Amino acid sequence: MKFDDQFFSVYSECFPMLGTADHVMAEKLEGADLLVRKSGDGVTGFAAVDGNAVLLVCVHPDHQGKGIGSSLLEEAEELIRSRGYDRAVLGRSERDIFWGAVIDTMSHRFFEKRGYTAFNGTLSMFLDAEDIPSDGSFGRRSLPEVSYMTVCGGDISDVLEAVERVEPKWLKFYEKAGSSVIIKAVLSGRTVGFLTADTDAGTIITGKDNRTGLLGYVGVVPEERNRGIGLGMVAYAAQYLKQAGCTEVYVNYTSLDEWYAKLGFAENLWYWMGEKIL
């Protein structure tokens, strides 16, 4: 079933604060399983499933409290069970929509009452590009021995070596960066920090008239941490994204809210990362 205007209308009523463009949601849900409930000719609610992840359960506010959400979740769990999985997880999928139940809308209470337990929490944050000065002063500390640079293609073995030391699971994202560029921090000829930056990302805060820059997989090698290198690298990346035409900079999976707030990033959504044994 294809994600169309009726699905998008229900989604928008459930998450009016996000302003997501319809084409962004259509792209993110392309190929996912959509379970639907209708009243007359209109969609009143739907659930989206990818593998063993429940991506979304949306019920139009006018139809909430009637058991629609519960029946959709039960159908989603049955679908997941039929695929051989022994647990359902909330949000966590490479489709990158939500990373769990959205605490801001209290939707985690819905899942908690139906047997889901949380093992972690995370949040997304954003920075308005208008708040990023273009003179190179943004967020920079006095670290003349550190240089930041953008890598587009070529040999990235130095970056991969640093990534391996910080989080080996991230290697695949650097080996196949796709539309993202790599930004690295160099100290005394050694690559000591890294992140990916996408100059035109489709995120849940990407509307029809804005262009979102996305930061991801930020790391600094252990022996060089707590010196401001990572913060300076994020500041450099934010300026790069602004110069590329981005209207905001987005971080979609982090627990470092106080750290990013030093550069003016604001909280967007908090996620309750739950799962249920089936």
The rounded distance, in Å, linking the Cα atoms of 190 and 111 is 47
Average pLDDT over residues 250-254: 94
Are 81 and 163 in the same domain?
Answer: no
Determine the structural domain holding residue 225 and report its residue range: 126-267
92 and 132 inside one domain: no
Q: Examine the domain organization and report whether 57 and 134 are in the same domain.
A: no
Residue 113 lies inside a defined structural domain of this protein: no
Is 89 domain-assigned? yes
pLDDT tens digits for range 15-61: 999 999 999 999 999 999 999 999 887 999 999 999 999 999 999 99
Once rounded to an integer, what is the mean pLDDT over residues 212-223? Answer: 96
Residues 132 and 86 in one domain: no
CATH number for the domain spanning 42: value is: 3.40.630.30
Domain count, the chain: 2
Could you tell me if 190 and 225 are in contact, meaning their C-beta atoms sit under 8 angstroms apart? no
Q: Do both 134 and 263 map to the same domain?
A: yes
| pLDDT higher than threshold 80 for residue 139 | no
> In terms of domains, do 153 and 237 share one?
yes
Q: Are residues 25 and 148 in the same domain?
A: no
- pLDDT at position 112 is 94
Asked whether residue 78 falls in the same domain as residue 151, the answer is no
For 148-160, what is each residue's pLDDT tens digit? 999 988 889 999 9
Q: Report if residue 116 sits inside a domain.
A: no
What is the C-alpha radius of gyration for the chain, rounded to an integer number of angstroms? Answer: 20
Q: Is residue 53 part of a domain?
A: yes
What tens digit of pLDDT does each residue of 98-122 get?
999 998 777 889 999 999 999 888 9
- Cα gap 194→186, rounded to integer Å: 9
| Cα dist from 246 to 218, 219, 242, whole Å | 19, 23, 5
The answer as to whether 16 is a domain residue is yes
Same domain, 76 and 178: no
pTM of the complete model: 0.90
Q: Is residue 104 part of a domain?
A: no
| Domain stops at, among 97, 112, 136 | 97
Burial 94-109 (b: 16+ CB within 10 A, else e): ebbbbbbbbbeeebbe
Instruction: Give the separation between CA 71 and CA 182, rounded to whole angstroms.
Output: 44
Please give the Cα distance from 1 to 219 (Å, whole number): 39
Residue 138 has φ and ψ, to the nearest 5°, of -65, 115
What's the whole-number average pLDDT of the chain? Answer: 92
118 occurs within a structural domain: no
**Are 62 and 134 within one domain?**
no
CA–CA dist 218, 170 (Å, integer):
10
Strand pairing report for 53-59 and 87-90: parallel
Residues 88 and 198 in one domain: no
Same-domain pairing of 29 and 84: yes
Q: Residue 149: inside a domain, yes or no?
A: yes
Residue tagged 């550069």 (tokens) = 263
> What CA–CA distance (Å, rounded) separates 22 from 147?
40
